[in-house]
Structure 1
Amino acid sequence: MLVIFGGLPGSGKTTISRALATRLGAVHVRVDTIEQAIRSSGDPSHDIGPAGYVVGYGVAEDNLTLGSVVIADSVNPLEITRDAWLAVAARSAVTAIEVEVICSDKIEHRRRAEARKTDVEGLVKPTWQQIVEHVYEDWGQRPIVVDTAAKNVQEIVDALIVRLGN
């Protein structure tokens, strides 16, 4: 199974995806970590474009073909990136589940975004203004939507486990 997370920075997707990966014993593929590793390997001012996502697709596919459950953790802002994750699942002949993480309380979302520390060396977190202005296409009816303003991590993971059939 490939569980594809998406959501604006600071919404809680890494917290939820890590907790779910731990609970399922799954592989956690985090695009932020991959992108920062790419930046650290060369000119940090160079725009890495889609490279982090493309690497993430490959790492996810390798692990899916080994029979692992994979949790993909990225902003996943565009339909093209979401479709690419779905293509990874299709090539690997596994079920894909899409999960959009939101924080409906904008004051809380801003507080989290401004207060959080980076856990990836060298990664600069976006400002609130950058988050608000981030290009983020509507998912339509595709995903399971979880609201981190409404429930705590354990409640969200418990509900996801039920939805995933585990």
Structure 2
Amino acid sequence: MRDITSRKRVETELMQKNEDLNGLNEELTATQEELRQNIEELSKREQDLNQALAEKEVLLSEIHHRVKNNLTAFISLLSLDGSYVDTVEGRALRKDLQNRARSMALIHETLYRTGKFSNVDMNVYLTTLIGQIAGSYAKSQEIRIDIDILGVVLDLSRASTAGLIINA
């Protein structure tokens, strides 16, 4: 006769640990399945967001392009002979209106060119704007322009306001 009590105890412990391990394995498998489903759902949401973003960018690009073109047409209408009073004040008013419209058109052109629709690089915008304003005045006057605004970026609303102030 042999005493197998300790052997039976070890076998019982081994079976219990095996059952525990199987339970943990089932939990892990379920968790992996949940993770896979979550990853699939996140991927679909990411695709939807990317598609919506692409559509928004196309729409914004088209809007800015159309606004710029409409402002350009407005500027051209101001240039037509007979569309203003031919006095010094009338010519000054026409020039002021053209410069203001150009500043708005330039913002939209800058946004359209850069593809960034929420912020305006003021160095690019103001360099061009101030050059246009200076070019609209008599060439006999010597105008020196110093622009030192590297790295300045403003939102569309503030950039528009700054452009109109510079035109004033």
Report if TM-score (shorter chain) is over 0.5: no
More strand by share: 1
Larger Rg: 2
TM-score range for the pair, normalised by the shorter chain length: under 0.3
Q: Which has the higher contact order (CA 8 A, sep 6+)?
A: 1
